[in-house]
């Protein structure tokens, strides 16, 4: 059984993961509207991945016998600027998520809640990968900034992204 405080914090994190999914779906729609179909595909998979993150927390809370009061999900923005701006907004959002996960990990440790801490370490590690992937895309977009052909090449590369379902979900 986990403490009331950690349960509340995990439900907040669950909401943030759903918001992330929603944000990336909005980014995908925006990219589609600009005919960046590779980026639209990439963000659509990012939406699905965030949904998996939310499910991971949800499953854990259920396993711990917690009651779950779901909160409303905030409305995401719908305009993002250039393709580079979209990925920069994505990076800023992931950095925000990392800060929250680090704080939440500290709280779990303080409560000597090692089960929740373990769950959170999975997320902390995932953030390293997520930030690094987005930073790489940003670096490429900066290299070709202003060059239509280069941007289309990157958009094409983004269309090759795949996503599986983790076996533990
Ligand atoms: Fe689940 Fe990208 O944070």
Atom of ligand 1 nearest to the CA of 130: 2
| Cβ(70)–Cβ(15) below 8 Å | yes
Q: Are 14 and 120 in contact (CB under 8 A)?
A: no
What ligand 1 atom has the least distance to the C-alpha of 97? 3
pTM: 0.97
pLDDT, the chain, mean: 97
Alpha helices (H) in the chain, listed in sequence order: 4-33, 37-63, 83-110, 114-143, 148-158
92-98: average pLDDT? 98
Q: Which atom of ligand 1 is the closest one to the Cα of 54?
A: 1
Count the neighbouring beta carbons within 10 Å of the beta carbon of residue 22.
Answer: 17
Atom 2 in ligand 1: which residue has the minimum CA distance? 94
**Phi and psi torsions of 162, nearest 5°:** -125, 165
Span 81-90, pLDDT tens digits: 999 999 999 9
- pLDDT value of position 1: 79
What's the confidence (pLDDT) of residue 64?
A: 97
* Residue 144 alpha carbon to ligand 1 centre in Å: 27
Domain 4-158 fold: Ferritin (1.20.1260)
Q: Where are the domains of the chain?
A: 4-158
pLDDT at 163 over 80: yes
Among all chains, which residue has been given the structure tokens 């999975």?
122
């Amino acid at each position: 059984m986990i403490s009331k405080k950690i349960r509340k914090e995990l439900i907040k994190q669950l909401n943030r993961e759903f918001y992330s999914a929603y944000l990336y779906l909005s980014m995908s729609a925006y990219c589609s509207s600009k005919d960046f179909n590779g980026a639209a595909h990439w963000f659509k998979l990012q939406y699905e991945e965030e949904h998996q993150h939310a499910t991971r927390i949800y499953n854990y809370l259920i396993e711990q016998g917690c009651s779950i009061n779901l909160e409303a999900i905030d409305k995401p923005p719908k305009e993002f600027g250039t393709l580079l701006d979209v990925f920069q907004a994505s990076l800023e959002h992931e950095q925000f998520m990392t800060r929250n996960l680090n704080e939440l990990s500290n709280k779990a440790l303080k409560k000597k809640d090692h089960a929740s801490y373990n769950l959170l370490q999975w997320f902390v590690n995932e953030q390293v990968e997520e930030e690094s992937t987005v930073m790489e895309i940003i670096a490429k977009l900066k290299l070709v900034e202003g060059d239509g052909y280069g941007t289309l090449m990157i958009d094409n590369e983004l269309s090759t992204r795949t996503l599986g379902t983790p076996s533990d979900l």
